[in-house]
Amino acid sequence: MSNWDLMMPGMGLTAIGLAGVTVSYAGIAHTFIDGMHALTGLTMFVGLIFLAAGILDGGVSTSNRAKATTLVVLGISLSFAVAAFSFTTITTLPTFAGVMLIVTIPAIVIAYVAMKMPEYTKPISIIFILAVGAAISAYVGFGLYGPSPYLVPPPVPVEEPSEKPATTAPVFAISILKGSATQGNPDYEPDEAHVPIGHIIEWTNNDDVSHTVTSSADAGETFNSNLFNAGEVYRLDTSTLAPGKYDYLCIVHPWMTASFILEEPKSAPEFPISILKGSATQGNPDYEPDFAQVPLGNTIVWTNDDDTMHTVTSTDGIFDSSVINAGEVYRLDTSTLAPGKYDYLCIVHPWMTAAFELTEGQQEERLAEDATVTDPNSIPEEKMQSEPAVEPESEMVAPEVSQPVESEVLTDQEPKPVEPSPQEDAVIVSIPLGTSMPGCEKENACFAPSEIRIGIGTTITWTNDDTAAHTVTSGDVKTGPIGQFDSGLLMAGKLFSFTFETKGQYPYYCQVHPWMTGKVIVE
């Protein structure tokens, strides 16, 4: 029969230990240290020993009470096990379960053999001990299943705070006026500000005493500068705020009140200009309109309606679109430019030239009553002059930036740049005149010579004898650039040299005019 004097403390100790282990491994009491884990596990093992001794005292009990007790213990154990596996955040729980199985299975088998077949108890015990020892040795010594960090998670690296880059958002300035600490004097200037969302509002303390900028509605929850002294500034990023009116005050001098209204930024009107289809052919119309009068502050939008790449490049370098592929657009914000005339061209096809004039004043003075800024066709014909109006000489004096100097005009004080000459031992390959138009490929005359044989270590210099820009790019139209050499955009009269150090065949082409192909054979 079972010994209840042993079973009762066994069940108690087992329950305590099992509860402690479950709480620890479920992450509920994550402050348990490794020693507490070991203590709860040890308590559970001792309880299991008492419980087993009580159940097996005098043989395996078949009484209903013993069976019921065993089922209760198993039910509690399985319930906690399922809960632990379901909700745990600890990665070592499978390891703990494995250790439990390593101990439990041999104990049950040995106990059963000792009761039923005592003559086999010793050899079976030795077999289990050797098996467990071999498993532990393989686990630890040979890394068949690499042990994970034991219980204590690895330290999380702490990132040092880095300085935030200075914002490039526009700044809206507000001044705290001198003498504003005296009640009745003007305080903030402007007293009510209209600010586009996304701007940085910058308050500057021009007074001799400390002030604050504190939101009134929520006592500083939305924004609060705290005290800032004379000469200091407080900056507020409005990109995180909602549109609307914000009242604020100085908590040191509460009679100092003001407000700002956050508004959605107004997009600038657009002025469209088209790069016409076929404009890459010299003599064809290129930009439409060829000359445009654009209100200052509008955004000029060039759309490439041609089948090849183009650029929109000012002759004095103020703006440059880089390459605009077919179907792409280039936008120019004119609010940063000065009024005046701006000439531009396509550096790939330099015969493509046009201009626009930035004008000040109200749009109604330049447009018809029903005209729109974005529709150049609505501008009256007398306004769409093909050449800028000639004004009296006394009125043509303007800031230097508003009158861009055309690049081909050279003064005595501006000597022409000296072009680099090809190396003495270099082989010359010419990009002939007119190759920017299809047709040269029929006679393999897009590069002269189109195929050349050289020895290892030879330098080839390509000279652009055409009026258009070209490239000398390794690869072909199908595969694209392969990175062996690339001249970039080679303007008229420019040179590009490359030394071939490896034997082989090197096909190349012009990215701007893909019908232009050549080949270098290094022997």
Type and span of the H or E element at 23: helix 4-25
> Which of these CATH numbers, 3.30.200.100, 2.60.40.420, 3.20.20.100, 1.10.287.3510, describes 171-263?
2.60.40.420
- Which comes out higher in pLDDT, residue 18 or 339? 339
Q: How confident is the model at residue 404 (pLDDT cuts 50, 70, 90)?
A: very low
Chain mean pLDDT for the chain: 77
Q: Do 171-263 and 427-522 agree at the fold level?
A: yes
CB atoms within 10 A of CB 278: 13
For residue 165, is pLDDT > 50?
Answer: no
φ/ψ (deg, to 5) at 354: -160, -175
Domain ranges of the chain: 4-142, 171-263, 270-402, 427-522
Task: Please tell me the least confidently modeled range out of 70-84, 104-118, 138-152, 460-474.
Answer: 138-152
For residue 143, is pLDDT > 80?
Answer: no
Q: Provide the pLDDT for residue 390.
A: 40
Q: Provide the pLDDT for residue 258.
A: 95
Q: Provide the pLDDT for residue 431.
A: 93
- Which comes out higher in pLDDT, residue 284 or 490? 284
Q: How confident is the model at residue 136 (pLDDT cuts 50, 70, 90)?
A: confident
Count Cα neighbours of 235 within 13 Å in the Cβ-side half-sphere. Answer: 11
- Segment 350-363 shows an average pLDDT of 81
Task: Please tell me the least confidently modeled range out of 13-27, 190-204, 211-225, 494-508.
Answer: 13-27
Task: Please tell me the least confidently modeled range out of 111-120, 313-322, 504-513.
Answer: 111-120
CA–CA dist 74, 1 (Å, integer): 20
- Segment 361-371 shows an average pLDDT of 43
Task: Please tell me the least confidently modeled range out of 88-97, 249-258, 294-303, 426-435.
Answer: 88-97
Q: Provide the pLDDT for residue 414.
A: 40
- Segment 267-283 shows an average pLDDT of 88
For residue 381, is pLDDT > 90?
Answer: no
Q: Provide the pLDDT for residue 281.
A: 84
Q: What percent of the chain has pLDDT over 90?
A: 30
Q: How confident is the model at residue 247 (pLDDT cuts 50, 70, 90)?
A: very high
- Which comes out higher in pLDDT, residue 489 or 247? 247
Could you tell me which residues come within 8 angstroms of residue 132 by beta carbon, excluding any fewer than 6 positions away? 102, 106
Per CATH, domain 427-522 is 3.40.50.300: no
CATH homologous superfamily for the domain 270-402:
Cupredoxins -  blue copper proteins (2.60.40.420)
**C-alpha to C-alpha distances, 426 to 109, 457, 459, 462, 463, nearest whole angstrom:** 91, 10, 5, 10, 12
Q: Provide the pLDDT for residue 34.
A: 53
Q: Provide the pLDDT for residue 462.
A: 93
- DSSP code of 140? I
pTM for this entry = 0.34
In the block, residue with structure tokens 């469209």? 272
- Segment 190-207 shows an average pLDDT of 91
For residue 368, is pLDDT > 50?
Answer: no
Q: Provide the pLDDT for residue 398.
A: 39
E-assigned strand segments in 361-494? 427-431, 451-454, 458-464, 473-476, 480-486
pLDDT digits (tens, 9 = 90+) for 90-126: 666 677 777 777 777 777 787 777 777 888 888 888 8
Q: How confident is the model at residue 153 (pLDDT cuts 50, 70, 90)?
A: low
